[in-house]
Structure 1
Amino acid sequence: MAETIPTKSKILKQSSDCFKDSRTQICKELVSEIEKFQLVAFDQNKFKCQSSLLGLQTEIIEAYFFNNFSNEIISLMTPYVIKNC
Structure 2
Amino acid sequence: MFKTQRRTAFSANTLCQTVNAMYRRAGISGAISHSGRRSFITTLATKGIGVRVLASLAGHRSIATTQAYIDVNDAMKRAAVELIN
TM-score range, shorter chain: 0.3 to 0.5
Normalising by structure 2, report the TM-score. Answer: 0.34
Tell me which protein shows more helix as a share of its residues.
1
Normalising by structure 1, report the TM-score. Answer: 0.34
Bigger Cα Rg: 2
The structure with higher relative contact order (CA 8 Å, sep 6+) is: 1
